[in-house]
C-alpha cells in the first residue's frame, strides 16, 4: 500500500485491538464470534488476525512508515463516541460518560469504566484500547 502514497501521503488504519478491554470483559472477537480468541492468539483460527499496538507498530515501521500517530476511539472505531490520543487521554469523567454499546450480544464480566480508570492510572490505557485509529506517515 505504501507504493500508492505520495511522499507526503498518509495511510489511515482503523482496526480492532486484539487486547482491547472489551474482549477481557466479555465481548466476543469481532471476526470469529468467539470469546477470548484474539487474546489467546487465534489458536483455532489461523486465517484471522487483529493486532496489539506493539505488533502493529512493528509491522508498520517494518514497511517504512516512520511516523505513527495513535488515536483511541471509544467505545471502538465502528461506533465512536469520542476519540483520544497519547497527547489527550480520557479523564475518569470521560470514561464514565461513554457507554460500551457494541454491535453484538455480549457478557459483561466487570465494570469497564472502573477498570479503564485503573489502566489510565498505571499508564497502560493504550495497550487495552478497544481499537486503534492510526495515521501512518512515510
Give the pLDDT confidence score for residue 51 in this predicted structure: 97
Grid cell, residue 9, equals 501521503
Percent of the chain with pLDDT over 90: 66
Global pTM? 0.91
Q: What are phi and psi of 34, to 5 degrees?
A: -110, 145
In this predicted structure, the answer to whether residue 18 has a pLDDT above a threshold of 80 is yes
Span 42-95, pLDDT tens digits: 988 878 899 999 999 999 999 999 999 999 999 999 989 999 999 999 998 888
Q: CA–CA separation, 62 vs 46, rounded Å?
A: 22
**Going edge to edge, which strands form the sheet with 131-137?**
10-16, 131-137, 67-74, 82-85
In this predicted structure, the answer to whether residue 30 has a pLDDT above a threshold of 90 is no
Amino acid at each position: 500500500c505504501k507504493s500508492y502514497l505520495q511522499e507526503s501521503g498518509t495511510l489511515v488504519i482503523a482496526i480492532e485491538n486484539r487486547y482491547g478491554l472489551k474482549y477481557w470483559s466479555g465481548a466476543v472477537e469481532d471476526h470469529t464470534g468467539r470469546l477470548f480468541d484474539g487474546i489467546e492468539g487465534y489458536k483455532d483460527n489461523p486465517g484471522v488476525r487483529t493486532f496489539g499496538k506493539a505488533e502493529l507498530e512493528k509491522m508498520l515501521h517494518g514497511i517504512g512508515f516512520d511516523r505513527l500517530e495513535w488515536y483511541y476511539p471509544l467505545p471502538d472505531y465502528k461506533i465512536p463516541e469520542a476519540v483520544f490520543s497519547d497527547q489527550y487521554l480520557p479523564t475518569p469523567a470521560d470514561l464514565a460518560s461513554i457507554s460500551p454499546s457494541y454491535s453484538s450480544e455480549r457478557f459483561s464480566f466487570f465494570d469497564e469504566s472502573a477498570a479503564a480508570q485503573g489502566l489510565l492510572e498505571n499508564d497502560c490505557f493504550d495497550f487495552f484500547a478497544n481499537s486503534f485509529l492510526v495515521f501512518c506517515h512515510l
